[in-house]
Amino acid sequence: MSLDFQARIRRPLPLAELVVGARRVAADLLGLADVPALALVAGRRRDRGQVVDPGRRLGEDDLGSTLIGPGVPDPLVEVVDEAGTVVVLMPTVAGGGGLVFSPVRRPDAVLTALTMALAAAIARDGRFVDDDLQLAVAVGVEDEDPAALIAATRLGPRSGTLAEATDTYLRQFEHLAGWHLI
């Protein structure tokens, strides 16, 4: 079963704006002063599940000049870490346009996909869609309001590691135990 978050947006946005927004949303949700920047690659290709072309890491200029979203070609972008792919970004095929953020099943990846979907929705006055984990439903927030979900689920200011804060954040959603994320 796939696990995706969506941002329903009507206009594309530069990857740089998405990355900065996701970093800001992550720090806000987790109650941390700052979180590490995301690393993105473009053009990664696979054959039978194996990476056959690692693509290229996107620098500042690439992030500023690459648009993602409705009406632009899919730049085949992924968020990566030392272990490999964390989140795949894709345009939506239905529903009037937007982006899909599909994480691998790791707590850090789920948080990254969540923050990217929220950031994209906020940046373009769009809607946030979570049909899989239903985080907003779990806390009684209308599913498509990104600001309301952030307000309802943000942690208070804290010190500690990103991994500790991510674990604490996801534990507030008791129903995630069945997803093996907490």
> Are 25 and 122 in contact, with CB atoms under 8 Å apart?
yes
pLDDT tier at 142 (50, 70, 90 boundaries)?
confident
Q: At what angle do helices 107-123 and 15-30 cross, to 10 degrees?
A: 120
Q: What are phi and psi of 15, to 5 degrees?
A: -55, -35
Scanning the structure block, which residue is given the tokens 């991994």?
163
Helices (H), the chain: 15-30, 60-65, 107-123, 135-138, 146-153, 162-171
Q: Exposed, middle or buried, 5 (CB in 10 Å: 0-12/13-18/19+)? A: buried
Structure tokens at 114: 């969540």
Query: Over 60: is that where the pLDDT of 66 sits?
Result: yes
Domain locations along the chain = 10-175
- Helix, strand, coil shares, percent, the chain, to 5: 35, 25, 40
Mean pLDDT of the chain: 91
Percentage of the residues of the chain whose pLDDT score is greater than 90: 69
Query: Mind listing the pLDDT tens digit for each residue in 105-121?
Result: 899 999 999 999 999 99
pTM score, whole prediction:
0.93
